[in-house]
Amino acid sequence: METKDPPVDGKSYKKFPLASRLVVLACSVICGIYIFSICTEQVGVNTHNRLVDTNVFRRQQCPPPPVEQSELPYLNYPDPQTFNREECACNPVRLFCIVSMQRSGSGWFETFFNSHMNVSSNGEIFSVVNRRENVSSILMTLDKVYNLDWYTSASKNECSAAVGFKWMLNQGLMRHHEEIVRYFERRHVSVIFLFRRNLLRRMVSVLANIYDKDAKLLNGTHKSHVHSAAEANILAKYRPTLNVTLMISELKLTEETTEKALVYFKNIRHIVLYYEDLISNRTKIMDVQEFLRVPYKDLHSHQVRIHTAPLSMQIENWDEVQKALNGTHYQSFLDSD
Ligand SMILES: *[C@@H]1O[C@H](CO)[C@@H](O)[C@H](O)[C@H]1NC(C)=O
Ligand SMILES: *[C@@H]1O[C@H](CO)[C@@H](O)[C@H](O)[C@H]1NC(C)=O
Ligand SMILES: *[C@@H]1O[C@H](CO)[C@@H](O)[C@H](O)[C@H]1NC(C)=O
Ligand SMILES: *[C@@H]1O[C@H](CO)[C@@H](O)[C@H](O)[C@H]1NC(C)=O
Ligand SMILES: *[C@@H]1O[C@H](CO)[C@@H](O)[C@H](O)[C@H]1NC(C)=O
Ligand SMILES: *[C@@H]1O[C@H](CO)[C@@H](O)[C@H](O)[C@H]1NC(C)=O
């Protein structure tokens, strides 16, 4: 049989001028580089998708969870690098983030929440500056927390059904909100907003806490949260003087920042809680358990509220403050809890 292929011999090469040969050579080099780059990229994608792969794998291996179809994306099956989830490997884990501001009851809320045997809320992890220095260090920290590889006294490890931490608005959350929202969307993190209604009371708490950092009223140690009425009384004895010139603009700034945060994260699954409501209505805490779909438990905290007296007894220049806020949008803060 005759073959139509041209004979391959030394002579046929000579038919191609040097220029053509160089073109072919260049093409193969470019192709080679292209294929190589695709391959390395693939490797990158693979390590990046390891979490997703484990999720898919476990979802196939584990008995189907008794939830609706729309809930499935919120269920994670982490594969921690530091330990084995053992008998709880098939328990799905929900990811959450408590978004709050300093002195808004989030410390109390977190101890309350951590009394649940299946909830791990790992504290204010971004109070450490280098963890929030840039977006990549933020995302790396988030991956570690949500993969259950973050260790604190709150970690429930293998049998966590919900894992998260608390994040203050001024700890990189507002500055890098675009990337963080994208991360929360991708990993289906639920947000628990915890704010305080009475921003004047919050201001008193902020000033008292700053004062105590130096004064150390409790036998020479500074405490932001206390566990007995005696300690609370000692801390509440200090009555800050508010700068009435700055007060209104600060209240306004706090209010605006909160509103902005709610807008940034509006498309993320969330719940908005107020400290005052949680204090006065304990059923509200059930709403949070319902929101995270963790089994209902009776939760408790040993923390004691520091400032319980009427504000008139807690502010040194009360008359001045009262006069400044009278007739403003913030007047209600003067006599509400
Ligand atoms: C981000 O911050 C971390 C921690 O400080 C640092 O090690 C890293 O080099 C920084 N990365 C970039 C891209 O700036
Ligand atoms: C909660 O924790 C307990 C004890 O560690 C475990 O037996 C149970 O399966 C966990 N529940 C969920 C929903 O993960
Ligand atoms: C401070 O010290 C006194 C005397 O040593 C002790 O009676 C008191 O309980 C201590 N108070 C606190 C808040 O630790
Ligand atoms: C209040 O703050 C302003 C601006 O920082 C400052 O100029 C003023 O002296 C302060 N007033 C008092 C009474 O401290
Ligand atoms: C307490 O909270 C629950 C749950 O959010 C709510 O249904 C109820 O109306 C609240 N009760 C009062 C007295 O506000
Ligand atoms: C607040 O303002 C109203 C009128 O604007 C006045 O009657 C009242 O005495 C003021 N209250 C205080 C505490 O300054």
Domain ranges of the chain: 29-64, 75-334
For a pocket test of ligand 1, which of 125, 129, 136 has the largest count of ligand atoms closer than 8 A to its C-beta? 136
Tell me how far the alpha carbon of residue 8 lies from the centroid of ligand 5, in angstroms. 88
Alpha-carbon distances of 44 from 125, 194, 282, rounded to whole Å: 27, 37, 48
- Judged by its nearest atom, the ligand closest to the C-alpha of residue 288 is 5
Cβ count near 173 (within 10 Å): 20
For a pocket test of ligand 3, which of 219, 222, 228, 234 has the largest count of ligand atoms closer than 8 A to its C-beta? 219
Closest-lying ligand 1 atom to the alpha carbon of residue 133: 2
- Judged by its nearest atom, the ligand closest to the C-alpha of residue 156 is 2
For a pocket test of ligand 5, which of 271, 273, 276, 281 has the largest count of ligand atoms closer than 8 A to its C-beta? 281
Q: What pLDDT is attached to residue 19? A: 64
Bridge partners, residue 221, by sequence = 218
Tell me how far the alpha carbon of residue 317 lies from the centroid of ligand 5, in angstroms. 36
Q: What pLDDT is attached to residue 22? A: 64
- Residue located nearest, by CA, to atom 4 of ligand 6: 327
Closest-lying ligand 2 atom to the alpha carbon of residue 93: 14
- Residue located nearest, by CA, to atom 6 of ligand 1: 137
Q: Tokens for 202?
A: 């919050």
- Residue located nearest, by CA, to atom 14 of ligand 5: 281
Q: What pLDDT is attached to residue 10? A: 44
* Residue 161 CB less than 6 A away from ligand 2: yes
Is 234 within 8 Å of 217 (Cβ atoms)?
A: yes
- Residue located nearest, by CA, to atom 3 of ligand 3: 219
* Residue numbers in the chain where pLDDT is lower than 50: 1-13, 39-47
- Judged by its nearest atom, the ligand closest to the C-alpha of residue 133 is 1
Which CATH number among 1.10.260, 1.20.1300, 3.40.50, 3.20.20 corresponds to the domain 75-334?
3.40.50
Nearest to 92 by CA among 113, 70, 73, 114: 73
284-288 — which CB contacts under 8 Å span 24+ positions? Answer: 285/112, 288/113, 288/192
Between helix 244-264 and helix 199-215 the angle, nearest 10°, is 110
Q: What pLDDT is attached to residue 127? A: 95
The pTM assigned to this predicted structure is 0.81
Amino acid at 173: L
The Cα–Cα gap between 194 and 32 comes to: 55
- Residue located nearest, by CA, to atom 14 of ligand 2: 161
